[in-house]
Amino acid sequence: MPRSSAVEVLERVDSPELENRRDVLVYLPPSYHGSRRSYPVLYMHDGQNLFDPDTSFAGEWGVARILDAAARRGLEAIVVGVPNMGAQRLDEYSPFHDAGVGGGGRGAAYAAFLARTLKPLVDGRFRTRPSRDATLVAGSSMGGLISLYALFRHPDVFGAVGALSPSLWFAAGAIFAEVDRAPFVPARIYLDIGTLEGAEHVANARRMRDLLQAKGYRTGRDLRWLESRCGRHDERSWGRRFARALPWLLRTP
């Protein structure tokens, strides 16, 4: 039987933290059904933009293709794609309310949903490596913002974060103070920005890089920084950069 990956659907996953339900997508690596191995797990936001161009807002990342290619090099992981809730996206992807855009404020509940409800469900249903070193969270834009927050909010759960073009401007940059006052968390942090996203966003990303370095994260050891000269704020750019970030994020013992 040929090895092939698969995307399964966990239907109507209930979140007591958010008082809503959503279908959750789970990518299983090519060797999953033909082995007894356990796998690291990467939780990703905006799940409808990861695998299927028919469900994406503005193109998809091609995560399944990226993971399949990585598997041919011996690098495999389960990816849990958590779709956003449409009009509730801004609320769930920031713990800070932004009056200017009329959203945010439920990010703490969303992060708790990932850590306290969804992770136990996934660990119970699939062959995962449940340790924090093998539990990752990643996203782009507002998904990058909530990923950074989730790492420092739940340091007992997540051991690595991918923040692609994070929306650090949201709520007047409240995430900077949040990260600054948080204790140092041993973790792998991937942070990037595209220079074509605009000078303000590049400056914010550099500021976060500098803040993380001041907290003790060292570039090349536990911090990976990328400033893409041709990078834009779009799914295609994030897919390309995700492919580069993946081996470093999955550098688990």
The whole-number pLDDT of residue 202 equals 97
Neighbours of 10 (CB within 10 A): 16
Q: Which amino acid appears at position 239 of this protein?
A: G
What pLDDT does residue 2 have?
A: 36
132 compared with 232, residue with greater pLDDT: 132
Half-sphere exposure of 182 (CA within 13 A, CB side): 20
Inter-CA distances, 78 with 48, 84, 129, 194, Å: 16, 19, 10, 27
Give CA 176 to chain center in angstroms. 18
Instruction: Check residue 252 and give its pLDDT.
Output: 65
pTM as predicted: 0.94
Give me the mean pLDDT over the 128-150 stretch.
97
Q: In what order do the strands lie in the sheet with 6-15?
A: 6-15, 20-28, 78-82, 41-45, 135-140, 160-164, 188-194, 223-228
pLDDT over 50 at 207, yes or no = yes
pLDDT band at 239 (very low <50, low <70, confident <90, very high): confident
Of the pLDDT bands very low, low, confident and very high (cuts 50, 70, 90), residue 60 is low
Task: Report DSSP letters for 115-140, one per residue.
Answer: IIIIHHHHHHHS-B--SGGGEEEEEE
Binned at pLDDT 50, 70 and 90, residue 157 comes out as very high
Mean pLDDT score, 172-197: 97
Instruction: Count CB-CB contacts under 10 A for residue 205.
Output: 24
| pLDDT digit string, tens, across residues 5-30 | 789 999 999 999 999 999 999 999 99
What pLDDT shows up at residue 55?
A: 47
CA distances from 37 to 8, 26, 77, 157, 189 (A): 18, 16, 11, 21, 26
When the pLDDT of each residue in the chain is averaged and rounded to a whole number, the result is 92
Evaluate if residue 107 carries a pLDDT over 90. yes
pLDDT band at 53 (very low <50, low <70, confident <90, very high): low
pLDDT value at 1 more than 50: no
For range 223-249, the mean pLDDT: 91
Ordered alpha helix ranges (H), the chain = 63-71, 89-92, 107-112, 119-125, 142-153, 170-181, 199-215, 235-249
Distance from C-alpha of 99 to C-alpha of 110, rounded to nearest angstrom: 19
Mean pLDDT (whole number) for 160-177? 98
Ranges of each domain in the chain? 6-249
Instruction: Show the tokens assigned to 63.
Output: 């995560």
Mean pLDDT across 109-119? 98
Q: Confidence band (pLDDT; 50, 70, 90) for 4? A: low
Contact status, residue 169 vs residue 192, Cβ threshold 8 Å: no
State residue 138 phi and psi, 5-degree precision: -150, 155
Helix, strand or coil, per DSSP, at residue 107: helix
- Give phi and psi for 95, each to the nearest 5: -80, -10
Mark 56-85 as b/e (b = at least 16 C-beta within 10 Å): beeebbbbbebbbebbeeeebbbbbbbbbb
Domain 6-249 in CATH: superfamily?
Alpha/Beta hydrolase fold, catalytic domain (3.40.50.1820)
Rounded mean pLDDT, 182-201: 96
* 20-29, 153-162, 244-253: least confident range: 244-253
Half-sphere exposure of 142 (CA within 13 A, CB side): 26
Percentage above 70 pLDDT, the chain:
93
253 pLDDT above the threshold of 80: no
